[in-house]
């Protein structure tokens, strides 16, 4: 497990829950019929194919960022609204909510990602919920994972404070990352006539930053974006 994920998992106070969560993160596989499905390694999996975190390592970033957002929401609920939150459930929920996304993608020869055959039959929520029930996770945690897309894009709306927090944290991070990716792609297209294939969140944030720091006229802004893209391409060649 990555050191960042280990640090987050260590915040789960309940020992047996912490161990179970760690066990699933370390081996996110599922047996269906005669076959054991193993997806992309967690460390390289994206968290989406185009909308958000759609690059290698995107899922890890999303797990980390959505947990931070969720913990911020826990603080707000308790300090400002006087509510009570079970943080163990929230942390475990954020770590596990997309744990089966790596099973739904595959890497193509050109380095891009595509939908894996398993994802033609089952989505990452159904896979995670099934596995978690088999592993004996508590119902309230299974609910968080099942409800993280909300009721219009998933099987059930959040019915607990913890599930609501996780749902909102998931949407917030997906939007934050997705909007910046979309803007960076658009800016690269307008500045160079060709859309840059964004390889990391840093690249996307760099491009958007270059545009916003040069807002006196659009020609200068386009030049700043072009410069940023050239820097990114040079960096890629180095690395």
The residues that touch Fe ion, with contacts defined as CB under 5 A, are 98, 170
Cβ 101 to Fe ion shortest distance, Å: 7
Measured CA distances, 135 to 13, 37, 132 (Å): 19, 16, 5
Phi/psi of residue 38, each to 5°? -125, 125
> Which of residues 167 and 211 has its CB atom nearest to Fe ion in the complex?
167
Q: How far is the CB of 212 from Fe ion (least distance, A)?
A: 27
Which residue, 138 or 154, has its beta carbon nearer to Fe ion? 154
Provide the token pair at 217. 């006229």
> Considering the complex, what minimum distance in angstroms separates the CB of residue 60 from Fe ion?
12
Q: Which residue has the tokens 């978690």?
A: 132
Nearer CB in complex with Fe ion: 144/224: 144
Q: Which is nearer to Fe ion, 182 or 209 (CB)?
A: 182
**According to the 3-state scheme, what is the secondary structure of 37-71?**
EECCCCCCCCCCCCCCCCCCCHHHHHHHHHHHHHH
Tell me how far, at minimum, the Cβ of 122 lies from Fe ion, in Å.
13
Whether the CB-CB separation of 79 and 146 falls below 8 Å is answered with no
């Amino acid at each position: 497990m990555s050191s960042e994920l280990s640090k987050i998992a260590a915040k789960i106070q309940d020992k047996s829950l912490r161990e179970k969560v760690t066990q699933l993160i370390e081996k996110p596989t599922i047996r269906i019929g005669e076959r054991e499905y193993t997806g992309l390694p967690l460390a390289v999996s994206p968290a989406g194919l185009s909308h958000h975190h759609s690059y290698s390592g995107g899922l890890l970033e999303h797990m980390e960022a959505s947990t931070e957002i969720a913990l911020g929401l826990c603080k707000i609920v308790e300090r400002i609204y006087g509510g009570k939150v079970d943080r163990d459930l929230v942390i475990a929920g954020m770590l596990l909510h997309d744990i089966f996304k790596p099973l739904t993608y595959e890497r193509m020869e050109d380095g891009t990602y595509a939908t894996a055959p398993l994802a033609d039959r089952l989505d990452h929520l159904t896979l995670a919920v099934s596995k978690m029930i088999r592993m004996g996770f508590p119902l309230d945690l299974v609910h968080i994972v099942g409800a993280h897309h909300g009721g219009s894009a998933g099987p059930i709306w959040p019915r607990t404070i913890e599930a609501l927090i996780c749902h909102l944290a998931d949407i917030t991070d997906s939007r934050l990352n997705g909007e910046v990716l979309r803007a960076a792609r658009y800016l690269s297209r307008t500045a160079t006539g060709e859309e840059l294939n964004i390889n990391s969140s840093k690249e996307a944030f760099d491009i958007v930053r270059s545009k916003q720091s040069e807002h006196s006229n659009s020609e200068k802004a386009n030049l700043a974006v072009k410069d940023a893209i050239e820097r990114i391409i040079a960096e890629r060649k180095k690395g």
